[in-house]
Amino acid sequence: MLALVATTHAQQPTLETLLARLGEQAAAFDRSLPSFSCLQTASSDELLTTKKNAPPKVLRHVTFTANLRVRRGTDGQLAESAEFLTVDGKPFTGGGFTMPAYAQGGFRQALAYFLPSQQPCYRYTLTPGHIDFEGAPDAAKLPGCRSAGVRGFVTLDANGNLQHLERRVSAQGTALYQLVPFAQIDLAPVTLNDIPYQLSSHLVSERPNGHFLDRFESTYTNCHLFAATITIGPATDKLNPADDPK
């Protein structure tokens, strides 16, 4: 008896399929992501890089933890604000402190490269689990494009979700768009309002500054819906003297 065994191979998604899926995710993220907060653990460094083939020398090093709030404003845009908890391992009691470098906007930026409105601004190349992207040659002629001098790549998980992004921006693009020349972002699923979102879990940014390198690294954990607390005091019939119309 001859037994025939049929084997099937899962068809790999095409670039067009993945771009459509990522475009839908990016648009939904941009439209519906609610306000949330995370615990931020970060370090900020100024490094000296004059010696060739030698590790950079740390000139300034600052660490901090903060409650990072990401709120959606009335204009629909996401804005980040930090409530500092510790600085260099000590409780933060107010006042100010300086950091060599700081970066924000990573929660929206990774998916923004795949927004349907932005896809004409880039050229994409697919290899299994990996998409390279770079600014399209004619992007400067298209409205809303900020892709001149931008190139990078993303890696995808088995379900086609973004896992990791790295991107570099040329001196021209840095000057035009005020972007950090190098950034990398790791993403992880977080459920908010019973909807899963791919949120930044780790960010690294670097900005050369002559013989110096400004470096910022941040990890985001315990992300959850942002909630404001309102305390209602006991009822009273007494007027505050300042409120007395007489």
**Digits of tens for pLDDT over the chain (246 positions)?**
344 444 445 577 899 999 999 999 999 888 889 999 999 999 999 999 877 777 889 999 999 999 999 998 888 788 899 999 999 999 999 888 899 999 887 887 789 999 999 999 999 999 999 999 999 998 888 888 989 899 999 999 988 899 999 999 999 888 888 889 999 999 999 999 999 999 999 999 999 988 899 999 999 999 999 875 555 556 555 545 444 444
pTM for the whole thing?
0.83
Q: Strands of 195-209's sheet, edge to edge?
A: 90-91, 78-87, 57-72, 36-48, 212-225, 195-209, 182-192, 162-169, 150-156, 130-135, 122-127
pLDDT given at position 5? 42
pLDDT given at position 229? 52
pLDDT given at position 55? 83
pLDDT given at position 89? 96
pLDDT given at position 12? 79
Residue 224 has, within 13 A of its CA and on its CB side, a CA count of 5
Q: Are 124 and 19 in contact (CB under 8 A)?
A: yes
pLDDT given at position 233? 53
pLDDT given at position 228? 57
